[in-house]
Amino acid sequence: MKDFELTNKYWVKYKKFYLSNLIKIMFIPYIYGAVNLAITKILTIDFDMLSMWNLIQFLFYFGICCDVMIALGGYIFSSKILGTETVSVDETWQGWLVCLICYPPLLSIYRFFSEQTDNYIWTNWLQPNDFLYWVWAFLICLSWTLYWLSTLSFGFKFSNLSWRGLINTGLYKYMRHPAYFFKNL
């Protein structure tokens, strides 16, 4: 019983350290892979054929690349010296589950159960020769851009499941959760 109490006391003392490093161990390889995937997608775009679709693809994957590089920097460069140390870590299994369901492999399971049954997307009801098509495409690109600008506000304080201090610059100056808002929009 005494060993259990000693182990429990040790766990309580270093819980934040262990949980914050577990987050890094889980997310750094995933985010590194996402950076590589985004760069690969950028490099495989056929720029010989200049088209609006190629430009949109390039801008989308460039934005994704910048977004995940900010996240990668947030995990790698977290330290007290840079003012990006972890202040607190979510200690609930529900918080971890909700976060981790947004990433592979749990994302694949979630998508299997929540996937729509048809393949009907917005380009099926709007065509490039319609004015509304370009309005809708602009709104989608605007929401991507505002999401990426929200992520940029984090800088090296970016992290999942942990808090590294209050962000009150960029879009966070005007609304509470712009990244979540524009990502879901």
Q: What residue segments make up the domains of the chain, in order of their start?
A: 2-113+156-165
Q: Which of 129, 152, 134 has the alpha carbon at shortest distance from 74? A: 152
Contact predicate 91/19, CB 8 Å: yes
**pLDDT truncated to tens, each residue of the chain (185 aa)?**
566 666 777 778 888 888 988 999 989 998 999 999 999 999 998 877 777 778 888 888 999 999 999 989 988 888 888 888 888 899 899 989 888 888 878 888 888 888 777 777 777 888 878 889 889 888 988 999 999 999 889 888 888 888 888 888 999 999 988 988 998 88
pTM: 0.77
pLDDT of 1: 59
Cα 147 to Cα 182: distance, rounded to the nearest angstrom = 5
